Amino acid sequence: MTIVQVNHLENYQNLNKSKKLNDDQFYALAHYLKKKYGLNIPFSKKMMIESRLQKRLHLLGQPSFASYLKFIFEQSSKIEYNNFIDLVTTHKTYFFREDYQFEFLKNSLPLYFQQSGNKKRLNVWSSGCSTGEEVYSIGMIMNEFREKNYHADFHIIGTDVSVPSLQKAAKAVFQVKELEYLPEHLKDKYLDPILEGGEQQLKFNNREVSSRIKLGALNLNNSNYNLPVNFDFIFCRNVIIYFDMPTQHAVLKKLVDKLKPGGFLFLGHSESAIGTNLPIKSIRPTIYQKI
């Protein structure tokens, strides 16, 4: 895993001094994001990108998009580059999103653990973990299993391209409205109410789970994934939908390469690995097992 590096964005010098994102600017950004991250951003998203980035122009006192892009790519402001990537990527998530997958994980753990020879540690990868809700949802499921199977253990790696999102995940503080799909018994067991910024919020506060989670920045468009282990379970949900088809296939292959035989891959509800020649079989919609 590596922290995102700032690369030069070509062809932005022709842009004018406007706080509106013009077509040339958009196409330059879209080209850069596709080349580096595999993101497929159509022209219909131009207004959305402009709206998100205008907030940063205002906050930083930048007089134009040209000066803002120069600040990021020519002056190599690493912190602002991370903010830029955070704004142009999507982070919609919540606890136990697509809950049938978590139910499948919970129900499959006893047999999977037995068939694996009751090996001590199960490894899980959340490959687009965003602000942490997915990581902690997985952690609660795995810990509930561990408490009933004392010789079992687990380790979770959470990665994302957005450093600010990872920082929020590490902080593990959530607004009450972000927890509406979290079962009450798990909320009471794993989260504590705190007062932050004058608001009542909840902090994930279970060391048994937190000590087994490691977070880091990773670009799924990288040629290889420098991860220390292969995994029993990989979650890559609502991520590849933003890639073009060749990038989707390339990312799926690299994910399956990191999956142990018999391990499971979970995709988002609008994503599919059907039709690929990968060594996996469909178990349920969006759930695949490596052959």
pLDDT tens for 105-158 read 999 999 999 988 767 899 999 999 999 999 999 999 999 999 999 889 999 999
C-beta atoms surrounding 27 within 10 Å = 14
Domain ranges of the chain: 23-88, 99-290
> What CATH code is assigned to 23-88?
1.10.155.10
Q: What is the DSSP string of the chain?
A: --PPPP---TT-TT--S-SS--HHHHHHHHHHHHHHH-B---GGGHHHHHHHHHHHHHHHT-SSHHHHHHHHHTS--HHHHHHHHHHHS-----TTSSHHHHHHHHHHHHHHHHHTTS-SEEEEEETT-TTTHHHHHHHHHHHHHHHHSTT-EEEEEEEES-HHHHHHHHHTEEEGGGGTTS-HHHHHHHEEEEEETTEEEEEE--HHHHTTEEEEE--TTSSS---SS-EEEEEE-SSGGGB-HHHHHHHHHHHHHTEEEEEEEEE-TT---TTS-SSEEEEETTEEEE-
- pLDDT tens for residues 189-215? 999 999 988 889 999 999 999 999 999
What pLDDT is stored for residue 119 in this prediction? 73
pLDDT computed for residue 118 by the predictor:
66
What pLDDT is recorded for position 229? 96
Asked if domains 23-88 and 99-290 share a fold, the reply is no
Q: What is the pLDDT of residue 214?
A: 98
For residue 75, the model assigns a pLDDT of: 81
Which stretches in the chain have pLDDT values below 70?
Answer: 1-18, 118
Task: Identify the architecture of domain 99-290 in CATH.
Answer: 3-Layer(aba) Sandwich (3.40)
pTM, two decimals, is: 0.88
Residue 202: predicted pLDDT: 95
